[in-house]
Chain A
């Protein structure tokens, strides 16, 4: 296992490469890295042409495959209504030369998988992908194939163009660690995109170091082991979840599993920021990505972010006050 500084260095290398490729999306990049290091998956809700593919592709390419199984760094699946599960997972084919059936791996056998417009395909295909995400394995013809340890899915969906889609139910959204709602970049960032378009067309400069698959996995482990989550932060998480469940505007609150899943995310964010402890700032920053898609809101209420902020603010303020008032235990 590597130490925290080395782990932070791994994240920093990936971040540098991503920020070089994608302009004006530093917040999203950080969240994606947090999810990667927390061993979760990400659902991006964004408009077409906002750099999702570039982000995923750059991430996949930034991770060097140091194993012997030649798993590709990046695969993209464009979801359409006529897609079949085997198009995702892979298919068993008969090899005439050896007269044996062999498994041809699908696109999920990659380090980083971009599942584009995931809500455009049938629930059956969605379920196949979601099983792969949850179990890190696929089952084809009663044979179970392990996916790579690093397996990381970035799924996208268009928030507006909902005609002919199969919206993911809340239970399946639960498989995603984050749902990141992206907004249009700022004027300066957009200008920067245009101004640097020529250089970036050549790809990320080779001078920027990559990270190996093994390093990423080790960094995951390091942040899980070495970043301390204090009891007060645990309490704050529980209190926020309870406050959200008590909110009138929330029909169904966040699950306990989502709280458990939040812990590695908090640790990953603290580690990326060079800390070995989780602060309320981490909680505050990750609440909306973690809980936003897990709440079933009452009719007429559609801004989960606001509901979450209102529910969390008193808890976090209390946490801040307490930390100032009494010596840490």
Chain B
């Protein structure tokens, strides 16, 4: 009879209460983190309570004789009961009638999540006390639950999770650092927890790490095959989201997500236009032809404001005006009506360019006067909302050649009337006349372009640039600006110039779009347009030349000078827009990785496995041949080893804890040669003076081989001999 205490000693000693408490804490926190988004407070309490109860129950169950299968069945039953009762309470009418709606919801959640957590934890915990490898699963679950809480911050979204980043920012910490520490700490804690396992030493710890890695790899493959590889989010990593809408401010240049183009329709008089500079790129323009603008600036026109609405100029509502402005993105190659003609030997040359929009715009824009627009497929939809080719008619003649040209195209037509309407305020006319009279010689006083130059240069000299202006509240902001402090920004200048031109009877309008200094291009052909490059300028119609840009360049500015754009970003975006996914040099951060497909993974795994098996077979072959070539020093050992290999192939191997002599005795009816071979090996290994002769030993090894094969069925021999791993079983 075996005393009961002896049976008790076989099972692991009970865990200390501290270990049980720590386990409960970890799993409880995991349950909380997993359910905090879905469960009611009662459900959370239930889940944490169920987890703790299960940990306690499992720690006593571990040392009982209850079979693991029974525990699993009980857990499955409990889970089913949890779901049923929860559904009955929450969905059925009886629960609500009994406990009230709120009570039924709470009770349902508490029972459902509590019992589920209990069942799951019990099954996991009991399994891992019986099989230590399962502890890896537990650890992974705890880690995943924490990762789920922190996952919101991925892809560089440092403002998530909000509760953490808000706290960090208000306390002057960098959440990035906190998140890094959290990640590193979790990793270290997991590694320590894995290494701390009771009897986990050496190979066992390695095995568990391998199990964890395998789990992670399987999870990754599963996620990728089922949900697909993670796609980079729009504008990710490069700050290309065009800026975020600023609440309550409605900045004209703040397009919001995807509608930044609206800004140009909304360029407005505002008191404070400059909260902070907007450096986010909104578009990239790639010039295919070398073109140096006569004014030193690239103007990209998107829209035009020509209709006076009693307050300011707005986009026209008439069909016959501003027909060179597209109201929508064309779906195919579209020639723009009324675009000035361009060609060799003319005053305008065709310039080809490609525009890639990082932020959606309501209508296309193009260099100066677009003449033709062709939509193109985006090389990377996650980055570029739209891509189109533009052929522009760009002014290629020196500006002074425009002198002496006329603006009589719409003479005595409704268009002329529309393009010359201005506020009913005599001061415009007075000022315009005064400027012209003061600055122009009499012979030029009727020349349209000379007048335009005079007005714009006078405005440039006599006004101050500032994004902070105080004219928005006036009935006529332009008058308030022009006859007031003359401090404002492009919208004021453009209106002032347009109204002054119109006061002189010249057809003028305001164009809006982007402007970029020629120097920005550097040596490349890419121009990156930013939010703050949005601009408005006045334009003058000249017969045969179309709309001529009359921009005001104020000599004085209250604002800090413009910051140059990021050249690297400009280059990278240019390469991306050209369709080079590696952006010229390096892969863009967060760009899609080349995830191997499941088939590829399997194929590679199969090849690796085959190579491994081949290596094993080589080892096996070596071990078969070794007795024939081994010298007297090692022949006893390798001959004995070869005999063990042959026996292992047909399923006869020494048990753990069995000594070699006893194995030889056990195998004797099967392979009588093993006993003398064992003796020869042991005598050599443990220092006997009487060693078996080499030839005899080899003969014995061959004898053991034939004995092993003589006593086993043929299929066993075949399988055993083909098995490249059989030698791993011999010990």
Residues of A within 8 A of B681 (CB): 323-324
Given A249-B9, A279-B682, A316-B659; A228-B637 close (CB under 8 Å): no
User: Restricting to A287-329, which residues have a CB under 8 Å from any CB of B?
Assistant: 300-303, 306-307, 309, 313, 316-317, 320-321, 323-324, 327-328
Within the complex, the shortest CB–CB distance from B644 to chain A, in Å, comes to 8
Known: A300-B5, A303-B9, A321-B731. A327 touches B637 (CB 8 A): yes
State whether A279 and B686 are in contact (beta carbons under 8 Å apart), knowing that A313-B656, A320-B731 are contacts in the complex. yes
- State how many angstroms separate the Cβ of B641 from the closest Cβ of chain A: 6
Given contacts A302-B3, A327-B633, contact A277 B682 (CB under 8 A): yes
A67-108 with Cβ < 8 A to chain B: none
19 additional A-B residue pairs with CB within 8 Å, beyond A228-B688, A249-B9, A277-B688: A230-B687, A277-B683, A277-B687, A279-B661, A279-B682, A280-B660, A281-B660, A281-B661, A301-B9, A302-B3, A306-B9, A306-B10, A313-B657, A316-B657, A320-B659, A321-B731, A323-B637, A324-B731, A327-B633
Contact yes or no, B688 A276, CB < 8 A: yes
A279 and B731 CA atoms in complex are apart in Å by 16
A230 vs B688: C-alpha distance in the bound complex, in angstroms? 9
Contact flags A164-181 to B (C-beta < 8 A → 1, else 0): 000000000000000000
Smallest Cβ distance from A279 to chain B, in angstroms?
5
Supposing A228-B688, A279-B686 touch, asked if A317 and B660 sit within 8 A by C-beta, the answer is no
Interchain CB contact under 8 A, B8 and A300: yes
- Complex A-B: 6 CB contacts under 8 Å: A303-B5, A306-B10, A313-B656, A320-B660, A327-B633, A327-B637
A306 to B682, CA, bound (A): 26
**Are B686 and A233 within 8 A (Cβ)?**
yes
**Is B689 located at the chain interface by the 8 A CB criterion?**
yes
Give bound CA distance, A310 to B205, whole Å. 20
B686:A317 contact, CB within 8 angstroms: no
Q: Which residues on A sit within 8 Å (CB–CB) of B465?
A: none
CB of B13 within 8 A of chain A? yes
- Count B interface residues, CB 8 Å: 32
- B 499-523 binary contact with A (CB < 8 Å = 1; else 0): 0000000000000000000000000
Q: Residue A275 at the B interface, CB < 8 A? A: yes
Residues of B within 8 A of A281 (CB): 659-662
Chain A residues with Cβ below 8 Å from B633 are 327
Which of B640, B689, B690 contacts A324 (CB under 8 A)?
B640
Considering only CB atoms, which chain B residue lies closest to A307 in the complex? Answer: B9
* Cβ–Cβ < 8 Å partners of B659 in chain A: 279-281, 284, 316, 320
In the assembled complex, B685 has its CB within 8 A of some CB on chain A = yes
B634: Cβ under 8 A from any A Cβ: yes
A313 CB contacts on chain B under 8 angstroms = 656-657
By the criterion CB–CB under 8 Å, are A277 and B3 in contact? no
Q: Is the CB of A248 within 8 A of B13?
A: yes
Q: Which chain B positions have C-beta within 8 A of A233?
A: 686
Q: Top 9 closest A-B pairs, CB basis?
A: A281-B659, A277-B688, A323-B685, A230-B687, A228-B687, A277-B686, A281-B661, A230-B686, A327-B634
B660 touches A279 (CB 8 A): yes
Query: Do residues A324 and B637 form an inter-chain contact, with CB atoms below 8 A?
Result: yes
Binding site for A on B (CB under 8 A): 3, 5-6, 8-10, 13, 633-634, 637, 640-641, 644, 654, 656-657, 659-662, 679, 681-690, 731
Contacts of A232 in B (CB 8 A): 685-686
Binding site for B on A (CB under 8 A): 228-230, 232-233, 248-249, 275-281, 284, 300-303, 306-307, 309, 313, 316-317, 320-321, 323-324, 327-328
How far in angstroms is the closest Cβ of chain B from A273? 9
Write the chain A residue with the least CB distance to B681: A323
Contact A275 B683 (CB under 8 A): yes
CA gap between A7 and B8 in the complex, in Å: 45
> In the bound complex, what is the Cα–Cα distance between A55 and B644 (angstroms)?
40
For the complex, what is the distance from the CA of A280 to the CA of B686, rounded to whole Å? 9
A275–B731 Cα gap in the complex (Å)?
Answer: 23
* Contact call B6/A302, Cβ cutoff below 8 A: yes
Write out the residue numbers on chain A whose beta carbons fall within 8 Å of the beta carbon of B661: 279, 281
Query: Which of B637, B644, B686, B690 is close to A278, meaning CB atoms less than 8 Å apart?
Result: B686
Residue of B nearest to A327 (CB): B634
Considering the chains assembled together, what is the distance between the CA atoms of A83 and B5 in angstroms?
36
Most buried by A among B13, B660, B682: B682
Q: State A317–B637 Cα separation when bound (angstroms).
A: 16
Bound: A301/B657 CA distance, A: 22
What residues of B have a CB within 8 angstroms of the CB of A278 in the complex?
686
Q: How far is the CA of A247 from the CA of B311 in the complex (A)?
A: 94
**Beta-carbon nearest neighbor of B664 in chain A:** A281
Contacts of A279 in B (CB 8 A): 659-661, 682, 686
Instruction: For the complex formed, measure the closest distance between the CB of A84 and the CB atoms of chain B, giving whole angstroms.
Output: 37
Cα A327 to Cα B639 in complex, Å, equals: 12
Query: Is A276 in contact with B660, judged by CB distance below 8 angstroms?
Result: no
- A301–B731 Cα distance when bound, in Å, is 32
User: Once the chains bind, are B660 and A302 in contact (CB under 8 Å)?
Assistant: no
Q: What B residues does A323 contact at CB under 8 A?
A: 637, 681-682, 685-686
Q: Which residues of B contact A230 (CB under 8 A)?
A: 685-687
A248 to B, closest residue via Cβ: B13
A317 to B689, CA, bound (A): 24
What is the distance, in angstroms, from A59's C-beta to the closest C-beta of chain B? Answer: 26
Please measure, in the bound complex, the distance between the C-alpha atom of A325 and the C-alpha atom of B646, giving whole angstroms: 17
Q: CA separation between A277 and B13, bound complex, in Å?
A: 40
B731 neighbours in A (Cβ, 8 Å): 317, 320-321, 324
Q: Return chain A residues, CB-CB under 8 Å to B656.
A: 313, 317
Assess the A328–B9 pair: CB atoms within 8 A: no
Inside 8 A of A275's CB, which chain B residues have their CB?
Answer: 679, 683, 688
CA separation between A229 and B640, bound complex, in Å?
Answer: 21
Measured between beta carbons, the chain A residues less than 8 angstroms from B641 are 324
Q: Which residues of A contact B8 (CB under 8 A)?
A: 300
- Bound Cα distance A321, B659 (Å): 11
Write the nearest CB–CB distance from B731 to chain A, whole angstroms. 6
- Most interface-central of B637, B657, B690 (chain A CB within 10 A): B657
Measured CB to CB, the nearest residue on chain A to B679 is: A275
With the chains together, A76 CA to B687 CA distance in Å?
41
Q: How distant is the Cα of A85 from the Cα of B238 in the complex, in angstroms?
A: 98
In the bound complex, CA of A248 to CA of B52 (Å): 29
- Could you say which residues of chain B place their CB within 8 Å of the CB of A328? 637, 684-687
The CA of A249 and the CA of B11, in the complex, are separated in Å by 13
Which residues of B have CB within 8 Å of A284? 659
Residues of A within 8 A of B657 (CB): 309, 313, 316-317
Q: Which residue in chain B gives the minimum CB-CB distance to A320?
A: B660
Bound-complex Cα distance A281 to B10 (A): 24
A232 to B265 Cα, complex, angstroms: 91
Determine whether the beta carbon of B685 is less than 8 Å from that of A276: no
| Cβ A302 vs Cβ B637 within 8 A | no
Residues in A with CB closer than 8 Å to B686 are 228, 230, 232-233, 277-279, 323, 328
Chain A residue contacts of B685, Cβ below 8 A: 230, 232, 323, 328
Query: In the complex, which residues of chain B have a beta carbon less than 8 angstroms from the beta carbon of A321?
Result: 731
Given A279-B661, A281-B662, CB of A301 within 8 Å of CB of B634: no
Contacts of B662 in A (CB 8 A): 281
| Closest-CB distance, B198 to chain A (whole angstroms) | 11
- Residues in chain A near residue B13, CB distance under 8 A: 248
A266, chain B: closest CB distance, angstroms: 11
Query: What are the residues of chain A within 8 A of B640 when measuring CB–CB?
Result: 324
| Closest Cβ neighbor of A231 among chain B residues | B687
Closest residue of B by beta carbon distance from A297: B9
Task: Give Cα A303–Cα B3 distance, bound, in whole angstroms.
Answer: 9
A275 to B686, CA, bound (A): 11
For residue A300, which residues in chain B have a CB less than 8 angstroms away from its CB? Answer: 5, 8-9
Residue numbers in A under 8 Å from B6 (CB-CB): 302-303, 306
Instruction: Name the one of B9, B644, B654, B689 contacting A276, with C-beta atoms under 8 angstroms.
Output: B689
A278 to B690, CA, bound (A): 13
Q: Give the CA-CA distance A75 to B681 in the complex, in Å.
A: 44
Q: Which residue of B3, B641, B679, B688 has the most chain A CB atoms within 10 A of its CB atom?
A: B688
B residues near A327, Cβ cutoff 8 Å: 633-634, 637
Min CB distance, B197 to chain A, in Å? 16
